[in-house]
Amino acid sequence: MTDETHLHRHADAPQPRWCSCAVPDDVEQERRSGLSRRGFLTGVSAASALAAAGWVATSSESASAAAGGVGKSVTITIMGSSDIHSHAVNWDYYKDAAYSDKAGNVVGLSRVSSVVNQIRADRGRDRTLLFDAGDTIQGTPLGFYYATIDPITTSGAIHPMAAQMNAIGYDAVALGNHEFNYGLDFLDTWISQMKAPVLGANAVRAGTTVPAYTPYTIKTLHPKGAKPIRVGVLGLTNPGIVIWDKANVSGKLEVLDIVETAKRWVPVIRDQGVDVLVVSVHSGDSGTSSYGDALPNENAAALLAEQVPGIDAILFGHAHKDIPQRFVTNATTGQQVVLSEPMCWGQRLSVFDIELQQVKGQWTVVSKKATNVNTNTVEDDPALVSLVQAQHDAVVAYVNKPVATSTEELSAAESCWKDTAILDYVNKVQVDTVTKAIAGTAEASLPIVSIAAPFNRQATFPAGEVTIRDVAGLYIYDNTLMASVLTGAQIKDYLEYSAKYFQQVAPGAPVDPASWTNALNTPDYNYDQFSGVAYDVDIAQPQGSRIQNLSWNGAPVDPAQKFVVAVNNYRQSGGGGFPHIATAPVVYNAQVAIREAIVAYASAAGTIDPKDFHVVNWQLTRAGTPVF
């Protein structure tokens, strides 16, 4: 196989430079130690396991049976992963055990590698390609550790995800939005370590249409006994980057519309004489955006298929869904485009089969299909685990370091419908950090309040020793702490928006809080709770009219009163579409990671005692009557 990588930059362009992830399931794990080399690393399973998972090896070459047909028919296989989120091995760092969930899924590039090895062996390396649709380097303590605790930019070490992807032999990797979480310099370093081209045609230099990253690459397959097959792959990333990672990209990068960028580049790639054109895009297929219409469409994969002629197949991601196969008809050509999204974290591998036939000496695509292979049908590739074993072990040791002693067990299990001590601890740390930082400034005289959300219902601080792993299980995202100024009226608007998280519930309905949450598909991480002000959330009322008895310091909040609000950078940048916060004046932004602030605060105090910080300042009500 040969390749042509196409890099488009001005001569003076800068060199190329973490959302919304599911949380670990609540299955109890028995194993409490590090990764075992015995019983755990047993190689790949038989091809029959792959067949049971939905992928069946088929003849990759046959004689043409078409009327007047000429030449051979050859099937090539394109494999695709997405949203790996720094899952290198089948391990849950928050539970210190092999990953498992109720559905029996496993995770990690080590599992993906075993599936890839099997498919390559069955189909032939000369007829297979392997792509990824982004969100690779962030998502677990492994990714965090090698970006912030022992960063590869300082140590010179190879990033574990780069090491594994290089060993597997990826042919191209698209940029996801979480690639930008650790800044452009860190991203530059990771890209420089990758053997595969890292693609992002619509991530451009600010104020231009010049790609800051490689837009596309062309791979040439040389199937035995047949004419070479040229496969072009266009990489596209998510416009939401400019909101979610505003601090890292503002004034440096812009992210253009996915569809419009493809309209520009697909003809360019076709003009290179490719036989197959694939798009690897970090974008879901719903056609909707979490940020409304403030930016180009967030989840545009299906729109891409419908509106851009010349695409044969689309590997997509971002939404963390298992979509083995979807066909979309292109509005211009009437041709069907096949799409597939593999489930996140290495739980699935998308497999496209594209059949080509020689017609008048040229390859023509005559059929295409896709399916997803469950990686629980294989074992970890021992070579891939061995490659990152030392780095994995270092992270396991790090996350198991004790930081404090808790006087009692604190659980997040009810944090989505009750004011809990464990979320109040996050708010306590945020308020104290901001209070110290703005001392002596003009804003120091203002009331300081804080926002936190229930990221992980399974999070617990056990009674006794609390470790970094416990903190990481509570605060699972790599957010940094900021502070902005909001008025009382704006806080009321903000809380009303947050309260859309709840279904409307009749006053006399049975108390079943778990069934009341996630209205309008609102995720837990978008249910923000305030500390510092008191309020009721009346879920018997319609959305927009639920916040009652909003008060501060025992008196109703004056709509004009100003407050300093401690908030994470994702929210302050506009993530979740909350009102006012993205345009509010910023008074603190020291790029302090909230998880690390919690660890430092707990370590300094030595004890976590809810009597020191837990204040029940909000409650659910129905028609004015408390639910609990």
Question: φ and ψ at 6, to 5 degrees?
Answer: -110, 110
Distance CA 279, CA 348 (A): 19
Cα–Cα distance for residue pair 141/598, rounded to 1 Å: 15
Beta strands (DSSP E) in 391-452 are 402-406, 410-411, 448-452
Write down the pTM of the prediction. 0.84
Cβ neighbours around 323 below 10 Å, total: 20
C-alpha dist (Å) from residue 327 to 283, 336, 348, 400, 505: 16, 6, 19, 46, 39
**Per DSSP, what are the bridge partners of residue 315?**
280, 340
- Positive or negative: CA dihedral 593, 594, 599, 603: positive
CA distance 623 to 114: 57
DSSP reduced 3-state for 593: strand
- DSSP annotation of 92: B
305 and 339 Cβ atoms separated by less than 8 Å: yes
Tally the C-alpha atoms within 13 A of residue 376's C-alpha that lie toward its C-beta: 11
pLDDT digits (tens, 9 = 90+) for 254-306: 999 999 999 999 999 999 999 999 999 999 999 999 887 889 999 999 999 99
377 phi and psi angles, rounded to 5 deg: -85, 0
* pLDDT averages per 10-residue partition of the chain, 628 residues: 58 30 31 30 40 48 45 94 98 94 96 98 96 96 95 98 98 97 96 98 97 98 94 97 91 98 98 98 95 91 98 97 98 97 98 96 96 97 98 97 98 98 98 96 96 97 97 93 97 98 97 97 97 98 98 98 97 93 92 92 97 98 97
Query: Please, what sign has the CA dihedral across residues 149, 151, 157, 163?
Result: positive
